[in-house]
Structure 1
Amino acid sequence: MTNSLERLQKIIAQSGVTSRRKAEQMIVDGKVKVNNKVVTELGTKASLSDEIVVDGIPLQKEAPVYYMLYKPRGVISSLKDEKNRKIVTDFLKDVPERIFPIGRLDYNTSGILLLTNDGDFANLLMHPKHEVDKVYVAKVSGIPEKSELNILRKGIKVENDVLRAVRYKLLSTDRSKNTSIIELTLNEGKNRHIRRMMEQIGFPVQKLKREKYGMLTLKGLKPGDARALTPHEVKQMRHIASEIVK
């Protein structure tokens, strides 16, 4: 970011404090000060040279950064854990910026997880109206028929959620072990989405990995590895999310 004037909510979101939508609400609620003056107008503009305080905490002026982690199993997609288990930022301790995960992967799910300090970018990728494809590979108990897997595309009501897969592909089966490997594509991410969905149709998940997020893949990474996204990759992810509107 430069010192050019930007909308206040955009500056707050890009600092990683919160999403732009929540930043707007904080402004309206009088929780934001610019140069020691409370600001409540959403059209207000500021620059990084201004002193901006959000909910009593001075805004740290960080340049936006973007990382991809190959999250291993047995790691929490959070910035802290009461049980002292490994968290995703343990694998990016050399990153000086205050990064946070975009969404989450379950404790026992591995694969691509994006981290950033850019709340605006995170909100863009997580917003319900943007259907960015995420491809998972699941090892499940049992060998489903095509008719059973077709239910996934129609959607299954589980508690208060409707869980569905955009696409599926049966990759392999092992009749001796009574297991199957299935590729599943989602464009939303409800809590334990795939595990709950597969359990509902009678094929519980044994292992689960997210192999693709938009155009990003795990190529060249091992579990626990992380790398910075290139400017081109960031631009592509923004473009994908902006082009796909529900």
Structure 2
Amino acid sequence: MRLDKFVCKSTELTKSEAHHVIHCGLVRVNGEITTIESTQVHENNSIFLNDVRLNLRDFRYILMHKPAGTICSNIDEVYPSLFNFLTVDNPSELHIAGRLDADTTGLVLITDDGRWSFNITSPAQKCSKVYRVGLSRPITEDVAHRFKLGIALQGEEQLTRPAILDVISPKEVLLTITEGKFHQVKRMFAAVGNRVIRLHREAIGEVKLDVEVGQWRYLSRGEIAALTKEQP
């Protein structure tokens, strides 16, 4: 973690205020004055500000049901930010682990723990994401097998990782993937001659969506731990 972020997460200082106290030589890391805000530190380091030891606030892990027409951003842009639905302190410290498009609904995880979110977003960790997909035309019988083998996406050198397709009805399926390329689900169905008209994320790993649209809750310890485990 960067030193300026550590100072912000252990005090009520803003980022600019944290930079000021660091540049003024008021912060010591393991006994040495450190004036570079980008210095990498660890929560086990001894970090003092004006002779007061700093301790990180507990990390936060939040599940939200993202509505359509919102964006996975900390601020409003063309569409409103889903952070408008959050009522927590210091929301600027939070980030989204695995973004969804503005028109996509469903499960979003929000945290201020970068190492935890890495386990969710890194393809190497093989964290599964389950999507309910509405299609413009009936699914053909060969698609499940093609997805299992991997699909060539335009502009990508490698095939997609093996994906699992479960047919609910001719125009509705569940798709489980373990990576998150740009617009991946939509591009996968486009590659097999179909079009996604509705997309909803139902689960990430062992965590399943269980709140109403626009609602949120904190994850349980068990859910947090389940998404912390590295996959073989």
Indicate the TM-score class for this superposition, using the shorter chain for normalisation. Answer: 0.7 to 0.9
Is residue 165–residue 184 contact of structure 1 (8 Å, CA) maintained in 2? no
The CA deviation at 1:38 is 4.9
Task: Give distance in 1, aligned partners of 2:108 and 2:102.
Answer: 12
Q: Decide which structure has greater strand share.
A: 1
Is residue 164–residue 197 contact of structure 1 (8 Å, CA) maintained in 2? no
Task: Note if 1:216 corresponds to 2:207.
Answer: yes
Task: Give distance in 2, aligned partners of 1:232 and 1:216.
Answer: 10
Task: Note if 1:69 corresponds to 2:64.
Answer: yes
Task: Note if 1:235 corresponds to 2:225.
Answer: yes
CA RMSD, 1 decimal = 3.1
Paired AA for residue 163 in structure 2 = V
- Partner of residue 170, structure 1: 167
TM-score under structure 1 length normalisation: 0.72
Q: 2:145 aligns with which of 145, 150, 169?
A: 150
Task: Note if 1:136 corresponds to 2:127.
Answer: no
The runs of 5 or more residues in structure 1 that have no matched partner are: 1-7, 17-30, 53-58, 174-179
Task: Give distance in 1, aligned partners of 2:55 and 2:183.
Answer: 34
Q: Do the aligned partners of residues 144 and 164 (structure 1) sit closer, same or farther apart at CA in structure 2, a change above 3 Å counting? A: farther
Task: Give distance in 2, aligned partners of 1:92 and 1:62.
Answer: 18
Task: Give distance in 1, aligned partners of 2:216 and 2:151.
Answer: 35
Is residue 139–residue 206 contact of structure 1 (8 Å, CA) maintained in 2? yes
Q: 1:204 aligns with which of 163, 176, 195?
A: 195
The CA deviation at 1:144 is 2.1
Task: Give distance in 2, aligned partners of 1:218 and 1:156.
Answer: 27
The CA deviation at 1:164 is 4.6
Is residue 156–residue 197 contact of structure 1 (8 Å, CA) maintained in 2? yes
Task: Give distance in 2, aligned partners of 1:51 and 1:148.
Answer: 59
The CA deviation at 1:82 is 3.3
The CA deviation at 1:10 is 10
Q: 2:48 aligns with which of 47, 50, 55?
A: 50
Is residue 165–residue 185 contact of structure 1 (8 Å, CA) maintained in 2? no
Task: Give distance in 1, aligned partners of 2:148 and 2:166.
Answer: 11
The CA deviation at 1:190 is 0.6
Is residue 156–residue 163 contact of structure 1 (8 Å, CA) maintained in 2? yes
Task: Give distance in 2, aligned partners of 1:103 and 1:70.
Answer: 13
- Partner of residue 180, structure 2: 189
Is residue 2–residue 39 contact of structure 2 (8 Å, CA) maintained in 1? no
The CA deviation at 1:124 is 2.4
When the two structures are aligned, how many residues end up with a matched partner? 205
The runs of 5 or more residues in structure 2 that have no matched partner are: 10-22
Paired AA for residue 224 in structure 2 = V
Is residue 131–residue 188 contact of structure 1 (8 Å, CA) maintained in 2? yes
Paired AA for residue 50 in structure 1 = F
Identity of aligned residues (%): 25
The CA deviation at 1:123 is 1.7
- Partner of residue 18, structure 2: none
Task: Give distance in 2, aligned partners of 1:140 and 1:11.
Answer: 46
- Partner of residue 80, structure 2: 86
Is residue 166–residue 173 contact of structure 2 (8 Å, CA) maintained in 1? yes
What secondary structure, in the 3-state scheme, does the structure 2 residue paired with 1:103 have? coil
TM-score under structure 2 length normalisation: 0.76
Paired AA for residue 234 in structure 1 = I
